[in-house]
Chain A
Amino acid sequence: AQSVTQLGSHVSVSEGALVLLRCNYSSSVPPYLFWYVQYPNQGLQLLLKYTTGATLVKGINGFEAEFKKSETSFHLTKPSAHMSDAAEYFCAVSDLSTGGFKTIFGAGTRLFVKA
């Protein structure tokens, strides 16, 4: 069965600094991986996804993530944090073991951006 682990429930960076949010997955089959962002009192917005092909995927708002099979990781990065990036970020994987193809979410990482 698939699972997702996000390292660090809270991450704090200064504005302009590198953002690195860590995600490790467990999957017995090639995974489909996602990062979602949730702003306060809002729904889930897809940042980026990896399905097949290029292992470095670019998403919205300057974020990107690299799929590393050998490390079973899918870390999210952004070169320069902006105040508007403050939100909760969820790493997720598609559960391909059942016909429903549900999404399994990590526990989330709250990103704080300091001025």
Chain B
Amino acid sequence: EAGVAQSPRYKIIEKRQSVAFWCNPISGHATLYWYQQILGQGPKLLIQFQNNGVVDDSQLPKDRFSAERLKGVDSTLKIQPAKLEDSAVYLCASSPRWASTDTQYFGPGTRLTVL
């Protein structure tokens, strides 16, 4: 079974530029998550999708971040405009259903550096 795929793996941009990340979850997984992990911190949930609907986006900085999950499969996370403090690893995870006992499987992440 293929794991969670993410691209690009690395991205370097200047502040005020825009950037987009792509995630392809494990086939058949209904729930998709985007986390932000700043160096030295644990991952922080940004947004959670159940199929193609948003379940929780309370920690997403909506003035600059946006995300969508088309047709309940792939997802994109966009930052526009980027700030220095957005430098982090952006992790996508998926789980089979929407249950507290489900394992969340993480992709390799996209490391963003904002200069």
Say whether A associates with B: no
CB within 8 Å of B: which residues of A?
A: none
